[in-house]
Structure 1
C-alpha cells in the first residue's frame, strides 16, 4: 500500500514538470518555429498609401473653381483637386503627373452642394473605383439665407456618416482626404473692403455671413459669430467622423486656419479662391496626403 502511494504522488510531479517544460519552449526557451520567424520578419502593408494612382473629387463650388476665371462661373480646370492649370499645380497633377491627372482623376463636385448632397456624389465617385477621394464641403451648410436655415450639426454629422458608408459599401480600401471648412468670417473681413466684391455678394453669395457687409451693429456681429461657430462645429464633426475610419485623413483644420489674403481670393467676388488660392489648397492637400503620419 505504501509503494502504491509513492507512485501516486510521483506521477503528478512528472506531469507538472513536462507541462512546465512545454510552456517554457512556447515562451521562447527553445528555437522559434520557422513559421513564427517568417511572421515576425514580414512587415504589414501600410494602411495609408502616400502615392495613390487615381483620384475622385467631391464637394462644392470651391472644388469646381467657381469664380476663379469668370464671374459666377465654374472653372474646373483650376480646381485644387483635379485641375489641369499649371499655375495651380493641382493635387491630381502633383500625385499622378499631367497625363495621369487627365486620365485618372474625376471631379464630381457641384456648385451650391451641401453635406446632404455628398452621399450621391460619393456613389458617383465610387463607380470609378478611385484610390483616393477628396472631400471639401460644408461652407454652403453655413452659407444660408439666414442663420436659422443653417444645417444642424446633427444632420451634418448624419449626412457625412452616410456619405462615408456609401463609399465603404463598395470601396472599403479607398482612401479619403477631408478638407476643413474655410473660415468664413475671415473671408468676410478680407472682402468687405472691395466695392465690386460687395456688389457681387448681394447676388446671394453666403448671405448669412456676407449680407449687409458693412453693418457692424451688435446684432450683425452676433449673426456672423453664430455662423462662424457653426463652421467650427462642422469641422469638429469632420474630424471626429474621419477619425473613426482608418483610411480617412482630416487636414487638421489647415484650410480653416489658412490666412487667405486678397491674392488668394477671386477678384470677381472676393470670397471664393482665386487661382493662387486654389494652389494653396492643393498644397495643403498634398502635404496632408503624403505625410508619413496623419495630422494629430
Structure 2
C-alpha cells in the first residue's frame, strides 16, 4: 500500500476565504492532522516539516490456503511407504489422499477439494539443483501454498566428499524462489527442514531387513557400513550431519528474505522418528505413520498465527 501525503494548493494573490481556513482548522481539531499535514495554525504549515510516511504493513499470512502444490524429493513422493523401492504419492504428507495420513492438503482443504486442488511435483532422487524446474511446474498451477522438502539427497551421496557444496545449495534454492516468484508472485511457501539423517541411521540400524535394503544404495554417505562404529565411520557420519545442519541454515536464511515464506524452525530435523514411523522396508524413509507426523508438523506451522521461532 502506498503512503498518502497531503497535497496543498500554492497560495495565490487572492486571499483564501476565511471559511476555508475555518474548515481546515476544524479538520485539524477533529484529529485529521496526521493525514492532512495540519499544524496548530489554521491554514498554514510549519516551515521545513516533512510528512512522515507510515510503516509499510507486512503481508498477511493466509492460514487457510485454498490450494497446495508440493515440490521436493522421495519423502514427498511417499517412497517405500507402501511397497519396497516404489513411490506411493497417495500417502504423501503434503498432498496425499490416504485417510490414515491425512495430508496437509486434506487437513486444509478437506478430502474432496484436496483431490482436485493439490499437485505433487516432487521427484524421488531429486537434489536442490532440480528444484528450480519443479518450482516452475508448481508456479503454473497458481497455488495458494507451495510446500518444499528437499536436501536429503544432496547429503546422501556415494561418498561424503560428493555432497552438494553449501554455496551451490544456496544458489539453487535462491534460483528456485525466483522461478516461483516469476510465475506465482502471491504464492505462500512452506519450507520443511531436512531430517536428521544421523538419527535415522541410529534408529534403523538395529533392523536386519532395513540394513539389507540400505546396501542397495540408499544414502551410502550416512548408511554405508552401518555397523561400523570406528573413528573413520563416525567422523563420516558427523560430517554428513554437519552438512545437513548447514543446508537447513540456508533454507532458513533464504526463506527469511521472502515475505511470503515460512520455515518450519527445524521441526522436522528435530523430530525423534521411531521405528514405528519409518518404512517397514528400508527403515529410513517415513512410513505411513511418519508421513502422518510430517503432515501434523506442517499443518501446525501453516495454520499458526506466527511462524516458528
1:195 aligned partner: 208
What is the root-mean-square deviation of aligned Cα atoms in Å? 2.1
Q: In structure 1, what is the Cα distance between the partners aligned to 2:66 and 2:203? A: 37
| Change beyond 3 A, Cα 1:256–1:268 | same
Paired residues, what number?
268
Q: Deviations over 1:235-293 (max 9, x none)?
A: 00000000011100000000000000000000100000010000000000000000001
**Which aligned pairs between 1:221-236 and structure 2 lie closer than 5 A?**
221-236=234-249
2:98 aligned partner: 85
TM (norm. structure 1) is 0.87
Tell me how far 1:45 sits from its aligned partner.
Answer: 8.6
Tell me how far 1:25 sits from its aligned partner.
Answer: 6.2
2:150 aligned partner: 137
1:8 aligned partner: none
**Does the alignment pair 1:108 with 2:121?**
yes
Q: In structure 2, what is the Cα distance between the partners aligned to 1:127 and 1:54? A: 13
2:263 aligned partner: 250
**Which aligned pairs between 1:136-285 and structure 2 lie closer than 5 A?**
136-285=149-298
Q: In structure 2, what is the Cα distance between the partners aligned to 1:172 and 1:125? A: 12
Q: Deviations over 1:37-90 (max 9, x none)?
A: 9xxxxxx79521000000000000000000000000000000000000000000
Q: In structure 1, what is the Cα distance between the partners aligned to 2:112 and 2:155? A: 37
When you count helix as a share of all residues, which structure comes out higher? 1
Q: Deviations over 1:113-169 (max 9, x none)?
A: 000000000001111100000000000000000011000000000000000000011
Conserved 8 A contact 1:47-1:246: no
1:286 aligned partner: 299
Conserved 8 A contact 1:122-1:166: yes
Q: In structure 1, what is the Cα distance between the partners aligned to 2:155 and 2:269? A: 14
Conserved 8 A contact 2:140-2:184: no
**Does the alignment pair 1:94 with 2:78?**
no
Conserved 8 A contact 2:279-2:286: yes
Q: In structure 2, what is the Cα distance between the partners aligned to 1:142 and 1:58? A: 18
Tell me how far 1:172 sits from its aligned partner.
Answer: 1.2
Q: Deviations over 1:192-246 (max 9, x none)?
A: 0011000000000000000000000000000000000000000000000000111
1:128 to 141, 149, 158: 141
Give the SS at the match of 1:173. coil
1:70 to 83, 105, 109: 83
